[in-house]
Amino acid sequence: MSPVAIERIPTFVEGLDPRMGGGIPKGSVILIEGSAGCMKSSLSYNILFQNALHHSRNGLYLTIEQPRKDIEDQMAALGMDKAVDKALDSRLTVIDLGELRAFLSEAQESELDVDWFRSVLNQVNSFRRDHPLDLFVLDSLNGLLALCARENPRLEIFHFIKELKSYPMTSILISEVAPGTAWSGGPQGFLADGIIHLEAKRVEDILRLQLGVVKMRKTAHEKQYFPFLVRKGGFEIVGK
């Protein structure tokens, strides 16, 4: 009996998709984890950008730490310039925390009262009402947690991921971990359907980036770390 074909979201990282059954299973909630500067934001944006460009998929990128213009300029410098195709304006939306704040109800004026996880879900839902949302990136889960004054953030994360999973879209949650840590503890690790780990390794005097797929449900993926390269036209992993 042949397995039922699953629709997948390609990462557009050259060499990676064929090693991952074609991409991320549609509808998953995955983590892209790594320490600062490992290109988590760039890789996540790449998935949205290329899927908008080549598969007409609508994406929403919510940035907590970096202002929207900062992200867009950084990605344009990496070859992901929204100006290359007019259609990208409506297919790829970046919003930042300032814009998310504007979305809060007046009843939640005090930031301590704000349920940030709920606000993000509300924002996502408001987008989904306007046009179908295929892909969502949260940059980052840590950033959102830092805003959260709630007593039990583990429970918040638990409900947040559960709810995202019930939406007919694919979510990428960026998660920053300490250098040398493979992946984060907490409920996100066991709740996520997949974990892609980016790591910077010092080899003599050079910092080399590596990518490994730690976990990807419904997928026979390779369990190996590969050199992760930034090329003018995009990203690439180098297989042995």
Ligand X SMILES: Nc1ncnc2c1ncn2[C@@H]1O[C@H](COP(=O)(O)OP(=O)(O)O)[C@@H](O)[C@H]1O
Residues in the site for Mg ion, rule: CB under 5 A? 41
- Taking CA atoms, 197 is separated from 30, 87, 179, 184, in Å, by 11, 31, 11, 10
- CB of 78 vs ligand X, minimal distance in Å: 5
HSE value, Cβ hemisphere, 13 Å, CA-based, for 89: 4
- CB of 167 vs ligand X, minimal distance in Å: 24
Q: Does 40 bind ligand X (CB under 6 A)?
A: yes
Of 39, 92, 104, 138, which lies in the binding site for ligand X, with binding defined by CB under 6 A? 39
Residue 201 CA from chain centroid, whole number: 22
Burial of 7 (0-12, 13-18, 19+ CB in 10 A): exposed
Report the residue number, 18 or 179, with the smaller CB distance to ligand X. Answer: 179
Stretch of residues binding ligand X (CB under 6 A), selected from 1-9, 11-19, 36-44, 148-156: 36-44
Report the residue number, 25 or 96, with the smaller CB distance to Mg ion. Answer: 96
Q: Does 182 bind ligand X (CB under 6 A)?
A: no
Q: Does 76 bind ligand X (CB under 6 A)?
A: no
Instruction: Tokens 């005090």: give the residue.
Output: 110
Report the residue number, 108 or 142, with the smaller CB distance to ligand X. Answer: 142
Report the residue number, 155 or 207, with the smaller CB distance to ligand X. Answer: 207
- Taking CA atoms, 212 is separated from 105, 152, 227, 237, in Å, by 41, 31, 9, 10
Report the residue number, 42 or 170, with the smaller CB distance to ligand X. Answer: 42
Residue 78 binding: pick among Mg ion, ligand X, none (C-beta 5-8 Å cut-off by kind): ligand X
Of 76, 182, 230, 238, which lies in the binding site for ligand X, with binding defined by CB under 6 A? 230
- Taking CA atoms, 31 is separated from 1, 5, 114, 192, in Å, by 31, 23, 24, 7
Residues 6+ apart with CB under 8 A from 127: 60, 93, 133
Cβ atoms of 191 and 184 within 8 Å: the answer is no
Residue 185 binding: pick among ligand X, Mg ion, none (C-beta 5-8 Å cut-off by kind): none
Cβ atoms of 163 and 123 within 8 Å: the answer is no
Report the residue number, 41 or 93, with the smaller CB distance to Mg ion. Answer: 41
Contact positions vs ligand X (CB under 6 A): 34, 36-42, 77-78, 230
